Amino acid sequence: MDCQTAQTNLSAYLRGDLPPEQRSALAAHLRGCRACLASLAALDPLASVLVQSETPPVPPGFEARVLAAARGRRSPVLPVDWSPLRWWRLASGPMHAAAAAMLAVGLGVGLAIGWGARPAAPQVSTSSAAAGGDPLAAYKLDYLSDAPDGSLAGTYLALLTSPNGEGQ
């Protein structure tokens, strides 16, 4: 990097607005150029001191040690084919609205089915109904009223409509 470029970028350097590569190049230039270093000191004395100190390099083998530690962990990251939470984070607004609507409809349908399936009214005792009135109506068997004698349905009806109402 030449001095003109360095001087142009000093303010951006101090604000932290330079990309990492450009920043490194400028710092290297400042360490070797007294004039540009003096310009930096005029803007920020602290920066002109700190830039002269180079951090030691990453210890050799660091990446390998990190990977070894990652592999040795008891609960490694497992492949996930599909994660509902990840889907929710990545999905768009309309998708969120559609999912919420489907959930509401599903809940509504489930509630409606459950409501419709509940017992309508307490059942009247068949014995008392049969004893006190039309057994066919009591047992809701009027559709068998036309069953011929001797047929299975007719026999069943006969049993039901016998005096004790319990086929005895």
Partner 1 sequence: MQTPSDEDLMLRVCDGDLNAFGQLVLRHQSEAWRVAYRFTGDATEAEDLAQQAFLRVLDAAPRYSPTAAFRTYLYQVVTRLCLDYHRKKRPVLTEALPECVADTPTPGEEADARERDQFIQNALAALPADYRVAVVLRYFEGLSAAEMAVAMGRSVKAVERLLSRAREALAPSLELFRGKMR
Tell me which of 3, 38, 43, 45 binds partner 1, using CB under 8 A. Answer: 45
If phi > 0 it is left, if psi is from -120 to 50 it is alpha, else beta; for residue 16 that is left
Question: Out of 6, 9, 10, 18, which residue is the one contacting partner 1 (CB under 8 A)?
Answer: 18
Sort 40 into a burial class: Cβ within 10 Å, 0-12 / 13-18 / 19+: buried
Closest C-alpha to 164, from 124, 125, 128, 123:
128
Q: How far is the CB of 54 from partner 1 (least distance, A)?
A: 5
71 touches partner 1 by CB under 8 A? yes
Per DSSP, the three-state class of 82 is coil
One of 4, 34, 58, 93 touching partner 1 (CB under 8 A): 58
Q: What residues make contact with partner 1 under the rule CB under 8 A?
A: 13, 15-18, 20, 23, 45-47, 49-59, 62-63, 65-67, 69-71, 73, 76-80, 83, 86, 89
